[in-house]
Amino acid sequence: MFEFLRTKPPIFKGLGTPLDAEDWMHTMERKLEITQSTDGEKVRFTVQQLEGAALDWYKNLRGGLDDPEALTFEEFRIAF
């Protein structure tokens, strides 16, 4: 996680336009590429950058899953 945090990933609060959300996700994907993280780590690292309404969205997403621990980064990205 230290390597990921060194990239200074941005926080996303769920405010703004859908384009703002898309830009944030693209930024996160670029930062995750250089960390050589596992799929589960990618989800956990990305979720750590969510706050406010965005974190509430994730909690709702996670609550609706049969096995939240099995959520892949691709599934997270598509849902986002």
pLDDT of 3 > 90? The answer is: no
**Residue 43 buriedness (CB in 10 A; 0-12 / 13-18 / 19+):** buried
**pTM exceeding the 0.85 threshold for the entire prediction:** yes
In the DSSP assignment, the letter for residue 50 is: B
Residue identified by tokens 């621990």 is 69
Average pLDDT value for residue range 42-69: 95
Average pLDDT value for residue range 14-40: 94
Average pLDDT value for residue range 23-49: 94
| Mean pLDDT taken over the chain | 94
Residue 2's pLDDT is 79
Residue 80's pLDDT is 94
* Cβ proximity of 76 and 21 under 8 Å: no
